[in-house]
Amino acid sequence: MEQFLEFILSFFEKLSAFFLAFLAALGIGNVTPEEPAISQTTVFSIGIYDTIRAVEGGCTDGRYVYQILIDPDAEKDATPCKILKIDSTDWKTVTVSETLNIDHANDVTYDSTQNLLLVSNNIPNYTTVTAVDPLTLTVKSTYTLPQKIYSIVYVGSKDCYYAGISKTYNIVQFSKNFEELGTIEGINSGYTRQGIESDGAYLYCIFYKENTIYKYDFEGNYQGRCVLPDTANEAENMFFLGGNLYVGYNIIGKTTGGFIAKVENAKYTKD
């Protein structure tokens, strides 16, 4: 009797395995679903202000989004720009600054401890960072750094700054007094260097052509890259708001400024 029961159990196990294999071959049954593809949705259209039309640096203070536009055809030592302050609760413009001269204004970050926007001037004053009042959008002061940079981010969890070193893919760490604390060696992608951002746990460097984000931990370990879904426009800056990723784009070859897009299902892979 015992042998008969073992035979019956063995028979049904084999039969079950056969049917499961048959269903899998037909694409039926316990099949792992595909992960959703990366996508983006425009949340704000950035207009132009006469010749001030090219999107550059952008950041958030947790509610308001700050987006910089410049005149790309102006002389490099006298580039006019404007800063837009946008309320992310309804995506409407709150304030537009007077015309400022902050050079190329390639990247901007919000320092919550000082309640200041810090702009990486970039071309032609690579060692200059300009402090801007987020309420009045007026220039408060400037800093001269010991290193040429093209991007900057304040990381509250570490109470310090990280910045992209000009003409390289490396990242420098600065104290609050802009003293150099160390350098992270980044991957030379060959892409156009744009901005840097942090979610408090990682660093993210955004590039153009192709529109890509490279992710590192604070020890400099490469975590992978995310290829953005937009291939028609120029990714200029990125920021995190409410746990969501947003990217500021410049519209290539147009006179209509750019736009801010919410990016969903971003995946970072080591390829």
The number of angstroms, rounded, from the C-alpha of 251 to the middle of its chain's C-alpha atoms is: 17
Q: Which are the contacts of 154, defined by CB distance < 8 A and separation ≥ 6?
A: 109, 110, 111, 112, 113, 118, 160, 161
- Going by C-alpha positions, the residue among 60, 76, 67 that lies closest to residue 111 is 60
Mean pLDDT of 33-39: 87
Alpha helices in the chain (DSSP H): 2-25
Q: Please check the confidence at residue 48 and state whether its pLDDT lies above 90.
A: yes
Q: Are 245 and 266 in contact (CB under 8 A)?
A: yes
Higher-scoring residue by pLDDT: 36, 17: 36
Q: Are 81 and 71 in contact (CB under 8 A)?
A: yes
pTM given for the model: 0.87
Q: Please check the confidence at residue 19 and state whether its pLDDT lies above 70.
A: no
What is the spatial distance between Cα 257 and Cα 259, in angstroms, rounded to a whole number?
Answer: 7
Indicate the pLDDT class of residue 170, thresholds 50, 70 and 90. Answer: very high
Indicate the pLDDT class of residue 27, thresholds 50, 70 and 90. Answer: low
What is the spatial distance between Cα 17 and Cα 195, in angstroms, rounded to a whole number?
Answer: 54
User: pLDDT value at position 23?
Assistant: 47
Mean pLDDT, the chain, integer: 91
What is the spatial distance between Cα 169 and Cα 184, in angstroms, rounded to a whole number?
Answer: 9
Q: What is the DSSP letter of 35?
A: P
Q: Please check the confidence at residue 8 and state whether its pLDDT lies above 90.
A: no
Question: How far, CA to CA in Å, does 96 sit from each of 19, 47, 93, 196, 234?
Answer: 66, 11, 8, 24, 23
What is the spatial distance between Cα 215 and Cα 212, in angstroms, rounded to a whole number?
Answer: 10
Strand order of the β-sheet with 203-208 is 192-198, 203-208, 212-216, 222-227
Mean pLDDT of 83-99: 98
What are the tokens at 145? Answer: 């750094």
Q: Which pairs from 21-26 meet CB under 8 Å and 24+ separation?
A: none
**How many CB atoms within 10 Å of residue 139?**
17
Q: Please check the confidence at residue 16 and state whether its pLDDT lies above 90.
A: no
Q: What is the DSSP letter of 78?
A: S
| Residues 123-135: tens digit of each pLDDT | 999 999 999 999 9
